[in-house]
Chain A
Amino acid sequence: MFKKSVLAAALCIGLSAGAFAGSNVGPGLGGMLLGNQKGLLSQVCGVFLNGIFCNQTFAITFGTSGASGWSGIVKAPTEQFIAENMDFVAGDIAMGDGEYLNTVATLLNVEDVESFKVKAHDNFDVIFADADVTAAEVTEKLVALL
């Protein structure tokens, strides 16, 4: 039930950032988040997304790489999602199907999802050329398939 310190830190960062972002922000709850014309929930989420260090490879999802978070690098949602879920996306691409691959397809606004999944599957060893492949490289290669 209890959250990790990083979670609280993330919220603090988010709240602080939001508090000074809006020009018409009032003292109400969530005001700092609503103040710059974005939804509270989506913006809190944005805090997490913006804070994720995207140059990640396999295994980062289990927090053992020692990579520091909250670097402030802003990346596209697909890249961020892949960075957080690299192992699961890779597993789905290897299988040619799965919830994580479907999510990537949605994030990339793929029209012919089935065809995209087949292409991704057939090009697995191109997309994941080595174990140090980054989320940015995976995203680029997936985009190239479209």
Chain B
Amino acid sequence: MESSAEVTRIMIGWPGATHFSETDSQLGLVGDLLARVGAGRLYAELVRTEHVADRVDAYSDIMGDRAGRIFWISVDVHKGVDPERAIESVTRVVHQLATAGPSAPELALAQQRELTKRVRALESVTRRADLLGQLHDVVGSDTAFESLQTDVLGATPASVRETVRRALPTNRRVVVVASHDSSAAACGRLRGHQ
């Protein structure tokens, strides 16, 4: 994709999990482990160490409640850096998480942050209503409400590692690059990426 944008942005997407499923909860933790500002693995590697990116993010989108969500990794490539290099770095970091999993302290912090985020989502009456509506729509009852907490607390380094291995394989992803570079591929699969 070519655009007049000054910033080159990479979006890497995987078919995600059904909203409120256990895998969905684990992918919430994976998003935190990968991309939180300051200490996430992608942030540390791409922004701080390699200086190939200015911003990273990892999240499940809010669409497709029943059909399953899409898990996205989004990277704003540092000016002058080849997007291919940033994609390779993302691939390596995700592979490391799929192979070794998070450390126990790393996961514990991610769990605490995720739980805090979920409690904060209950602050607003509108968001409470949205959440209850989604639970009814997707799960069919609000009894799943308690599982939102237990799924987060029940995650282990091994279960997160397994989730990353199953949910984020290289051969199931779609890579989109929006670049100001007119020589970039107009459309299609990038060289070396399925």
Are the chains A and B members of one assembly?
no
B residues in contact (CB < 8 Å) with A:
none
